[in-house]
């Protein structure tokens, strides 16, 4: 890293955190720590909600996902705008009317305490584990760029974020997120602009898209109705709707963001802003991965993107095989590049027959290239998908832009992790400590709330230590969320729409639905977006049946 | 605070909801077009 990179990185982070600490220096009560002051405008809520969802994983893993699997992941977000509309119309008015701190407080009003605490426990499990992955992702970046040991980096990031979150609670999290989101958006636009400038002279976007399309990366929308295909239009609209409804409507890390709004109108507008901006923003980030893939058709990429692991493979028992793979990769790249140039020429001449012929030849060359890469993967016991984009960033970004990208990653890490720890601490305090130990002094509650935040931070760091075994980080987080979100959403949907169903049937149905989703995850190949539908539908169906079967006198 | 507050633009919440959903529909059609052209 050069001096300018350090200046941009540290300047950005210190300015945002310093501004937040200065603005929120008066937070001295438990209420202000847990809920904020309720004065956020719609644009601040919208940016805060987006910053909470866009963790560091988004910027490290998503371009790599598009590089390997194409643009189809965008379909995961198709349910989001619909979810924003439904939540604005149904859930927000209820939360505001009851003036709750957490979404789960509503469940005690509607059902009973055990249902509230079971649902809050599911949230703590899913968000607590995901928070660990949120620490690990930026740790990869800093260990790659600065050469720090990965586990020490995990510890350092976790410590800084915990201290930062504990200092100001909910309000500092939301305030700083507005600027963090501005940095993230600006940094990714700059990264896309730089990648465009690195494509060969004379290569138009149309020609680049034809190359990416021939390599199977421009299948943005998949209309097939296969349940075992992870991302389709239908799984995005149906499964995506359920996961986004659950995430934004029942995950306290999001609920806490918009409950800090000035009023219902501002909170609704904030969510709708997210509904308008999110899909184009994710398209831009995925597009960066596809642009990088096109760049690598003209400039040879490494056969294995985690270059530290690949150099180790050259020193072990399989060193001869690794060297053979290197030679095969060089040859495969040259053959593929020749096919790419034929395709670009055919597109330039607008010769449809030549374009089809060149695409077929390129696909053949790409298949040979992929086979060599598979040989490389078989020699290293680690996955490299999350090293694809950061490898390019470190080796190609000019002075200043590298620092800005690292600021993007750290802003994202801080915003998502701070929101998660804030919500985990608030839920532990409001949904477990207060019901169990009763009301205590404001000072004592403030101390307990801060201790809860610290406790979750420690657990998240411990989980981060084990995250190195996970293949693709963003998918891991989404799969994890989908295992718990279906039943969580089901509880709230029953609460909102099925007024006759009571507490004990819903409580039992939650246990059944959670067991069903875990069984589907362990025993079937169904795409993870469907877990949300299965969990939610099982819960609603079971609650209706049990509501008839369980005698009224034992219903909560 | 009233739950029936009118939004500051477009006159009603229904119109704002239609804007969000309509934008999504346009994006999906555009993406389907991209998928078809660049197969």
The residue of chain A with its CA nearest to that of B6 is: A265
Task: For residue A470, name the pLDDT band (cuts at 50, 70, 90).
Answer: low
pLDDT tens across A505-550, in order?
Answer: 999 999 999 999 999 988 887 877 788 889 999 999 999 999 888 7
- Residues of B whose CB is below 8 A from A85: 17, 20-21
When pLDDT is averaged across residues A362-380 and rounded to a whole number, the result is 90
CA atoms within 13 A on the CB side of A320: 1
- Residues of A whose CB is below 8 A from B24: 78, 81-82, 275, 279
- Most confident among A70-74, A228-232, A312-316, B14-18 (mean pLDDT): B14-18
| Partner residue opposite A213 with nearest CB, options B7, B8, B39 | B39
pLDDT of B2 > 60? The answer is no
Q: Helix (H, G, I), strand (E, B), or coil: what is residue A261?
A: strand
Separation of alpha carbons A107 and A543, rounded Å: 15
- Sign of the torsion formed by the C-alpha atoms of A253, A254, A257 and A263: negative
Q: Is B25 on the interface with A (CB under 8 A)?
A: no
* pLDDT value for A555: 53
A48 sits in which H/E element: helix A42-53
* pLDDT value for B1: 40
pLDDT of A19 > 60? The answer is yes
- Residues of A whose CB is below 8 A from B31: 71, 74, 220-221, 283
**Cβ distance of B1 and A81 shorter than 8 Å:** no
pLDDT of A471 > 60? The answer is no
User: Which two tokens mark A132?
Assistant: 């660990």
- Residues of A whose CB is below 8 A from B1: 96, 263-265
pLDDT of A472 > 80? The answer is no
Separation of alpha carbons A243 and A249, rounded Å: 10
Q: Is B10 on the interface with A (CB under 8 A)?
A: no
pLDDT tens across A178-217, in order?
Answer: 899 999 999 999 999 999 999 998 898 899 999 999 998 9
A322 sits in which H/E element: helix A319-348
* Beta-carbon count within 10 A of A135 CB: 31
The residue of chain A with its CA nearest to that of B4 is: A265
Task: For residue A113, name the pLDDT band (cuts at 50, 70, 90).
Answer: very high
pLDDT tens across A281-335, in order?
Answer: 999 999 999 999 999 999 999 999 888 888 888 887 888 888 999 999 999 999 9
**Cβ distance of A233 and B24 shorter than 8 Å:** no
When pLDDT is averaged across residues A127-132 and rounded to a whole number, the result is 84
**Cβ distance of B34 and A209 shorter than 8 Å:** yes
Per-chain mean pLDDT for chain A: 87
pLDDT of A78 > 90? The answer is yes
* pLDDT value for A479: 77
pLDDT tens across B13-35, in order?
Answer: 999 999 999 999 999 999 999 99
DSSP A277-288: HHHHHHHHHHHH
pLDDT of A467 > 70? The answer is no
Residues 6+ apart with CB under 8 A from A316: none
pLDDT tens across A404-445, in order?
Answer: 998 998 888 888 889 999 999 999 999 999 999 988 888 898
When pLDDT is averaged across residues A358-366 and rounded to a whole number, the result is 91
When pLDDT is averaged across residues A105-131 and rounded to a whole number, the result is 90
Most B CBs within 10 Å: which of A42, A77, A85, as the mutation test of the B interface? A85
* Beta-carbon count within 10 A of A126 CB: 21
When pLDDT is averaged across residues A12-18 and rounded to a whole number, the result is 88
pLDDT of A46 > 50? The answer is yes
| Partner residue opposite B38 with nearest CB, options A82, A209, A279 | A209
pLDDT tens across A384-412, in order?
Answer: 887 888 889 988 999 999 999 989 988 88
Separation of alpha carbons A60 and B32, rounded Å: 26
Rounded alpha-carbon distances, angstroms, from residue A520 to A119, A464, A513, A529, A533: 20, 26, 11, 12, 12
When pLDDT is averaged across residues A455-474 and rounded to a whole number, the result is 75
Most B CBs within 10 Å: which of A40, A209, A221, as the mutation test of the B interface? A221
């Amino acid at each position: 890293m050069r001096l300018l990179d350090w200046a941009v990185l540290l300047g950005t982070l210190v300015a945002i955190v310093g501004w937040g600490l200065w603005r929120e220096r008066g937070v001295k009560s438990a209420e202000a720590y847990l809920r904020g002051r309720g004065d956020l405008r719609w644009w601040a809520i919208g940016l805060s909600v987006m910053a909470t969802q866009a963790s560091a994983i988004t910027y490290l893993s998503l371009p790599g996902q598009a590089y390997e699997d194409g643009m189809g992941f965008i379909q995961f977000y198709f349910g989001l705008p619909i979810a924003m509309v439904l939540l604005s119309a149904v859930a927000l008015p209820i939360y505001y009317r009851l003036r709750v701190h957490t979404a789960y407080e509503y469940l005690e009003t509607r059902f009973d305490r055990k249902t509230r605490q079971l649902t809050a426990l599911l949230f703590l499990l899913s968000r607590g584990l995901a928070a660990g992955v949120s620490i690990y992702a930026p740790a990869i970046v800093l260990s790659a760029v600065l050469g720090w040991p990965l586990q020490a980096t995990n510890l350092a990031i976790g410590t800084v974020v915990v201290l930062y979150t504990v200092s100001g609670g909910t309000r500092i999290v939301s305030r700083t997120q507005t600027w963090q989101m501005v940095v993230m958006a600006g940094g990714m636009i700059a990264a896309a602009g730089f990648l465009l400038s690195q494509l060969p002279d004379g290569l138009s976007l149309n020609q680049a898209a034809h190359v990416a399309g021939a390599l199977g990366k421009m299948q943005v929308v998949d209309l097939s109705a296969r349940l075992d295909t992870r991302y389709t239009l239908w799984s995005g609209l149906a499964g995506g709707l359920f996961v986004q409804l659950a995430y934004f409507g029942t995950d306290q890390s999001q609920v806490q963001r918009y409950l800090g709004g000035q009023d219902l109108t501002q909170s609704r507008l904030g969510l709708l802003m997210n509904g308008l901006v999110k899909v184009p923003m994710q398209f831009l980030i995925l597009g960066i991965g596809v642009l990088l893939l096109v760049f690598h058709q003209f400039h040879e990429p490494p056969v294995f993107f985690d270059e530290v692991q690949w150099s180790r493979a050259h020193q072990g028992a399989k060193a001869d095989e690794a060297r053979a793979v290197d030679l095969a990769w060089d040859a495969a790249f040259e053959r593929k590049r020749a096919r790419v140039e034929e395709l670009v020429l055919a597109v330039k001449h607008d010769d449809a027959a030549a374009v089809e012929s060149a695409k077929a030849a390129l696909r053949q060359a790409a298949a040979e290239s992929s086979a060599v890469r598979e040989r490389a993967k078989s020699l290293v016991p680690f996955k490299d998908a999350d090293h694809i984009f950061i490898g390019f960033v470190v080796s190609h970004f000019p002075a200043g832009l590298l620092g800005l990208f690292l600021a993007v990653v750290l802003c994202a890490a801080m915003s998502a992790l701070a929101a998660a720890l804030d919500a985990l601490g608030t839920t532990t305090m409001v949904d477990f400590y207060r019901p169990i130990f009763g009301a205590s002094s404001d000072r004592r509650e403030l101390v307990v709330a801060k201790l809860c935040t610290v406790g979750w931070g420690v657990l998240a760091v411990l989980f981060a230590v084990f995250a190195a075994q996970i293949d693709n980080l963003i998918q891991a987080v989404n799969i994890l969320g989908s295992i718990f979100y279906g039943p969580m959403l089901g509880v709230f949907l029953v609460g909102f729409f099925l007024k006759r169903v009571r507490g004990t049937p819903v409580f039992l149905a939650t246990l059944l639905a959670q067991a069903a989703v875990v069984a589907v995850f362990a025993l079937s190949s169904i795409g993870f977006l469907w877990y949300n539908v299965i969990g939610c539908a099982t819960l609603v169906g079971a609650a209706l049946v049990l509501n008839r079967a369980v005698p009224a006198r034992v219903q909560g | 605070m009233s739950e029936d507050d009118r939004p500051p633009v477009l006159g009603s919440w229904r119109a704002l909801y239609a804007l969000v959903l309509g934008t999504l529909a346009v994006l999906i059609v555009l993406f389907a077009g991209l998928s078809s052209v660049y197969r």
